[in-house]
């Protein structure tokens, strides 16, 4: 075992970031802002709020209990109930018993809800042209870097 001086120490997060890191952070911020603006516009075209569109997109992937939806949306379960109620009234979402615990209800996208969510994803325009300008290898590298940043482990996984 080495001395205290030779042992690894946590990264010093008090140092000022270098110019490249600052530029990357600014570019990520711009991408996020453009994505949100495009997403809100695409949602509005379908008479959905941003929160409704996000919830519908989540449910188009898999049915989820209200508590899990609230965690993913970072809001209170009572807010999720209201959003699900409005989407259910439009025939985009339904409540059903959880197959693993029939006492629990899950929200699930209906076929129409999955169609609307698919249309929403396909209508996002801001990145389509810039991404089309990248080679497949560049898109794979970008995807892998983003996966690492959001903590999804190794790029291959």
Structure tokens given for 11: 């990264």
pLDDT of 2: 47
Query: At a CB cut-off of 8 Å and minimum separation 6, what does 107 contact?
Result: 55, 59, 63, 64, 65, 66, 69, 80, 84, 93, 94, 95
| Digit-coded pLDDT (tens) for 69-120 | 999 999 998 899 999 999 999 999 999 998 888 888 899 999 999 999 999 9
Range with the poorest average pLDDT among 6-15, 32-41, 56-65: 6-15
pLDDT of 23: 94
| Digit-coded pLDDT (tens) for 37-72 | 988 999 999 999 999 999 999 999 999 999 999 999
pLDDT of 94: 97
């Amino acid at each position: 075992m080495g001395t205290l001086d030779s042992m690894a120490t946590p990264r010093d997060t008090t140092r000022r970031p270098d110019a490249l890191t600052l530029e990357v952070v600014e570019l990520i911020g711009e991408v996020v802002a453009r994505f949100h603006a495009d997403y809100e516009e695409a949602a509005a075209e379908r008479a959905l709020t941003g929160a409704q569109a996000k919830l519908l997109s989540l449910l188009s992937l898999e049915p989820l209990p209200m508590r899990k939806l609230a965690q993913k949306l970072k809001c209170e379960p009572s807010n999720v109930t209201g959003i699900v109620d409005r989407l259910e009234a439009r025939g985009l979402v339904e409540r059903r018993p959880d197959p693993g615990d029939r006492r629990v209800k899950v929200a699930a996208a209906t076929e129409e809800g999955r169609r609307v969510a698919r249309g929403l994803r396909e209508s996002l325009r801001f990145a389509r042209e810039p991404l089309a300008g990248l080679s497949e290898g560049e898109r794979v590298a970008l995807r892998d870097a983003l996966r690492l940043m959001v903590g999804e482990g190794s790029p291959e996984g």
